[in-house]
């Protein structure tokens, strides 16, 4: 029985409780003490589910934000739309300043309850596996609420009250049951200031990143590039199946010809990937008694940064943790649906592991920052998508990946791109650190007191 989490609960205790829960996880979940608190029900001013209508990747209809577009504690730009709702419904679902978005359901329990704050009005709707709330601000402001929900203590409450199954669920009804700490206004104001400063840096980081993208787009001629809208193509057998060994109509869409011609006509030339990049695809066997950082799809940020990792002993890592990555490598998802998950490996992830679902590359001819932007660009995303194949799992296989065409970028442009991307990452790290300080302040206020939390924030801002 050693190591088992066991707790004895009388049936009468369960029946007498206002919350009827029978699953064992609820009673064995870790808990903590709050000196003073509210229930979620007491702090809600407004709550709403998102749209469950079908989404598309063709840009048709209204943009819809998903969990994939959470950018830390903030939100990014939606990559999918829906044309299944009318303008009136869209207007009702538009995101407004200081909305708090919370993940309602996901197959991975650690995403359930994840929250982000909307820092300004956006013309985006949001998907149904999210819900939004607006808190009663004279009880708790939205910044403090998001900091708490994403802190280790907020996670404990979320995990306790979530309904577990094939899809974990943390509905508005469950949110109403969790405990929300009562903090004085001065601490909440400090947390709000941290969020506002973080968002300023977050936006500056995006500007520098977009500046780098603009340089790349100008060089490749992507700014005014228009692809064919034709939905069919005519190919002779000798220029289709005999050449490509592909019979699926999707592969021969006219737009892919347009993208390939853009690469071939690139002023600096082009090359097969295997000619200019080193692809690191040998399996690495982690030692069972050594601790590793393990990076997977969920750890890739919207701007190509690694946002975190699982840290565990080699013996506890999944069998797919077999790619050793080094500082300066670029990792690229091979799976259709997550091809945008590309990242540049920074110094702190040198000698970490990543999933075999990534290709790991570097190049002596194209610097890492330019490689990253290339593979996240509309151009290379379409080339990757064209070359995906499979039935159960659609992905780009190694042979197809090695033979895709890559445009060559001149060294001067590469250096300018590298400088902007590195500066973007530096500012983004500062933004993330400010959010981390806010979360730590919440944890200190719970563990010790609010004065200590205030001191912690003030000390960080002073340095």
Residue 272: Cβ within 10 Å count? 12
Q: Is 11's pLDDT higher than 60? A: no
More confident of the two residues 415 and 4? 415
- Encoded tokens for 134: 């607006």
Strand partners, 389: 395
State pLDDT tens for residues 317-352: 999 999 999 999 999 999 998 999 999 999 999 999
State pLDDT tens for residues 171-201: 999 999 999 999 999 999 999 999 999 999 9
Domains and their CATH numbers in the chain:
29-182 (3.90.220.20), 208-415 (3.90.220.20)
- Name the average pLDDT for the chain: 91
CA gap 386, 382 in Å, rounded: 6
CA gap 372, 385 in Å, rounded: 16
- pTM summary value: 0.86
* Residue 2 pLDDT level (bands cut at 50, 70, 90): very low
* Residue 43 pLDDT level (bands cut at 50, 70, 90): very high
Query: Which stretches of 37-151 are DSSP H helices?
Result: 40-43, 87-93, 142-149
Could you please report the per-residue DSSP string of 385-406? Answer: HHT-B-SSS-B--HHHHHTSEE
CA gap 426, 436 in Å, rounded: 15
């Amino acid at each position: 029985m050693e190591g088992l989490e066991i707790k004895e609960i009388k049936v009468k205790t369960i029946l007498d409780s206002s919350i009827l829960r029978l699953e064992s996880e609820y009673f064995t979940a870790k808990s903590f003490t709050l000196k003073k608190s509210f229930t979620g029900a007491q702090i809600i001013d407004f709550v709403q589910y998102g749209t469950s209508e079908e989404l598309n990747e063709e840009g048709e209809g209204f943009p819809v934000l998903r969990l994939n577009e959470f950018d830390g504690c903030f939100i990014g730009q939606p990559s999918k739309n829906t044309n299944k709702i009318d303008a009136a419904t869209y207007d009702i679902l538009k995101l407004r300043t200081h909305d708090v978005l919370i993940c309602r359901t996901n197959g991975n329990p650690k995403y359930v309850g994840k929250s982000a704050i909307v820092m300004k009005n956006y013309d985006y709707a949001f998907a149904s596996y999210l819900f939004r709330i607006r808190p009663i601000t004279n009880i708790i402001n939205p910044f403090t609420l998001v900091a708490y929900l994403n802190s280790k203590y907020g996670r404990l409450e979320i995990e306790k009250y979530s309904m577990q199954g094939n899809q974990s669920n943390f509905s508005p009804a469950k949110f109403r049951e969790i405990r929300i700490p009562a903090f004085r206004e001065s601490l909440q104001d400090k947390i709000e200031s941290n969020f506002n400063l973080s968002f300023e840096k977050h936006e500056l980081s995006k500007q520098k990143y977009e500046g780098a993208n603009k340089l790349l787009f100008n060089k490749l001629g992507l700014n005014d590039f228009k692809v064919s809208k034709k939905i069919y193509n005519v190919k002779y057998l000798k220029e289709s199946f005999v050449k490509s060994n592909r019979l699926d109509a999707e592969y021969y869409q006219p737009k892919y010809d347009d993208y390939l011609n853009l690469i071939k006509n690139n002023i600096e030339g082009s090359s097969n990937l295997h000619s200019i990049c080193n692809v690191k695809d040998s399996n690495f066997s982690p030692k069972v008694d050594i601790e590793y950082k393990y990076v997977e799809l969920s750890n890739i940020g919207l701007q190509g940064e690694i946002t975190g990792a699982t840290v565990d002993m080699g013996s506890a890592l999944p069998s797919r943790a077999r790619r050793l990555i080094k500082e300066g490598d670029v990792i690229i998802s091979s799976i259709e649906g997550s091809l945008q998950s590309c990242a540049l490996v920074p110094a702190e992830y040198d000698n970490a592991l990543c999933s075999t679902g990534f290709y790991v590359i570097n190049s002596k001819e194209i610097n890492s920052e330019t490689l990253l932007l290339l593979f996240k660009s509309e151009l290379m995303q379409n080339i990757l998508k064209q070359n995906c194949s499979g039935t159960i799992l659609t992905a780009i296989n190694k042979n197809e990946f090695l033979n895709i065409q890559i445009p060559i970028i001149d060294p001067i442009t590469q250096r300018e791109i590298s400088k902007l991307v590195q500066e973007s990452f530096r500012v983004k790290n500062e933004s993330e650190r400010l959010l981390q300080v806010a979360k730590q302040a919440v944890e200190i206020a719970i563990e010790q007191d609010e004065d200590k939390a205030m001191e912690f924030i003030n000390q960080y801002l002073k340095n």
